[in-house]
Amino acid sequence: MEHWILLVYQVTGSCARWLTHKRARHSLSNLLSTRIANRLVAVGIENQSGSLKALLQSSKILAVPGVFDGMTAWLAQKAGFEAIFLSGAAVSASQLACPDIGLTTLTELASTLERIRLRTNAAILVDADSGFGNAHNVRRTIRTLEHAGASGIQLEDQVETKDREQIMLRPLVSLEQMADKIKAAQDAKLYTNTVISARTDSFSSCGLAESLDRTEAYLEAGADLIFVEGIKRKEELTELCEKFKGRAPVACNIMNNKELSALKIDDLSQMGISLVLYPLVPIEKSSNAAFEALLELAEIAQGGARVNPFGDRNIANLIDSEAYLND
């Protein structure tokens, strides 16, 4: 390796002479070895653990359930799913019993992902929220999650931190800031087939036109998968798909939407959707089942009548999000 470095640096006599110092030569060797290795990986090596990119390139639409631990990932694979989604909301609910307001750290997310990867060969799309900071932070986020086993990483254009009044409003970073994050993500990734998914939350506050403009900019910045959160009507989803047909795969989330959830998976495929997310189905079903079992156990243990204090038990009610945010 040292001889090779000497040959490279013989183009400048001063560098060649500098290399005669053993310690300096060793330091430069280590530095270049690391940088060269990183770039070789980035330009020529594919992640062999569940290629989301390959699945998206097929003509088959992907139904992707949200998971939050090794067990749900294992069960998803046993059920036949080729790809899974590590949902930020599900991780926050399962690990912290808190709403999805940015409390989970990158270290906690990566640790959860590592345990999941040990139990599944499925492609894993990871919800990285806003990337845990600015474009510089995004670089570290991408590398960390790739090392932990991510096949794809989703970034969104919400601001990093929000106060209580802003949470439901979903305030956004500028289009330029989000584009910079996507560029940083593409530049930082270790594997050529790691998918960078760009999600915009602009629909609820700015409408479809702004969402399309942002999505166009994110695609130009290098996004591999695009996702407009909050679309309510079939016509709006169709317009999104038509605009980006043949240019990028489109993801959607049809939960909590009567019109879109009534569509069959084949209908969504014909519209041009490549990936359908079901981020909270496992966490809500499993949490409700666990709560039912605990109520039965409490009834047996206490001899009293069983009372369900939660009413409509979606995940927000189960973890008492309103009380948490008002505390």
List the CATH number of the domain containing 77: 3.20.20.60
pLDDT at 164 over 70: no
With a pLDDT cut of 70, the percent of the chain lying above it is: 79
Q: Where are the beta strands (DSSP E) in 178-246?
A: 195-200, 225-228
Give yes or no: residues 19 and 56 share one domain: no
Q: Could you tell me the pLDDT band of residue 304, with boundaries at 50, 70 and 90?
A: low
Give yes or no: residues 164 and 213 share one domain: yes
- Which structural domain, as residue segments, surrounds residue 312? 284-326
pLDDT tens digit string along 177-186?
999 999 999 9
153: three-class secondary structure by DSSP: strand
Model pLDDT, residue 319 = 67
Give yes or no: residues 65 and 181 share one domain: yes
pLDDT tens digit string along 121-142?
999 999 999 999 999 999 999 9
Give yes or no: residues 11 and 64 share one domain: no
Give yes or no: residues 246 and 113 share one domain: yes
Between 270 and 13, name the one with better pLDDT.
270
Joined tokens for residue 218: 């994110």
First to last CA, the chain: 60
Give yes or no: residues 180 and 301 share one domain: no
Model pLDDT, residue 258 = 85
Model pLDDT, residue 90 = 97
Between 137 and 9, name the one with better pLDDT.
137
pLDDT tens digit string along 41-90?
444 577 766 799 999 999 899 999 999 999 999 999 999 999 999 999 99
Residues 6+ positions from 173 with CB-CB distance below 8 Å: 130, 157, 158, 159
pLDDT tens digit string along 246-297?
999 999 998 878 899 999 999 999 999 999 999 999 999 999 999 988 888 8
pTM reported for the whole predicted model: 0.82
Model pLDDT, residue 307 = 61
Residues 6+ positions from 42 with CB-CB distance below 8 Å: 189, 190, 191, 192
pLDDT at 238 over 90: yes
Give yes or no: residues 316 and 169 share one domain: no
* Rounded Cα distance, 37 and 116, in Å: 27
Q: Which amino acid is at 190?
A: L
pLDDT at 12 over 50: no
Give yes or no: residues 92 and 165 share one domain: yes
pLDDT, averaged across the chain = 85
Q: How many domains does the chain have?
A: 3
pLDDT at 29 over 60: no
pLDDT at 13 over 60: no
C-alpha dihedral (156, 234, 220, 247), degrees to nearest 10: 130
Give yes or no: residues 291 and 220 share one domain: no
Q: Could you tell me the pLDDT band of residue 312, with boundaries at 50, 70 and 90?
A: low
Give yes or no: residues 32 and 167 share one domain: no
Give yes or no: residues 208 and 115 share one domain: yes
Give yes or no: residues 11 and 126 share one domain: no
Model pLDDT, residue 298 = 87
* Rounded Cα distance, 162 and 290, in Å: 31
Model pLDDT, residue 169 = 66
